[in-house]
Amino acid sequence: MDETELRKRLALLKTEHRDLDSAIEALRMAESHDQLQIARLKKRKLLLRDRIALIEDELLPDIIA
């Protein structure tokens, strides 16, 4: 992937990550707490965080000074 594609993918992943935050919060506020669904969303959110970190590392490689 080139840099433009990586940046687009990164933006999509960050949006999905924020959306999962909202979904998790909505489930927590609901009267019937579906713990299994919340756990699944949290797991998905962690997966997204890892993918975001990988892309960010690819875009901004460590520079040894």
> What local confidence, expressed as pLDDT, does residue 33 receive?
78
Q: Does residue 64 fall inside a structural domain?
A: no
Domain that holds residue 50: 3-58
> What local confidence, expressed as pLDDT, does residue 8 receive?
97
Structure tokens at 65: 């000074």
Q: Does residue 65 fall inside a structural domain?
A: no
> What local confidence, expressed as pLDDT, does residue 64 receive?
67
Q: Does residue 43 fall inside a structural domain?
A: yes
> What local confidence, expressed as pLDDT, does residue 60 receive?
86
Give the number of other CB atoms < 10 A from CB of residue 3: 9
Taking only the tens of pLDDT, the chain with its 65 residues reads 799 999 999 999 999 999 999 999 999 998 877 899 999 999 999 999 999 999 999 998 777 65
Inter-CA distances, 24 with 7, 9, 59, 64, Å? 26, 22, 29, 39
> What local confidence, expressed as pLDDT, does residue 32 receive?
75
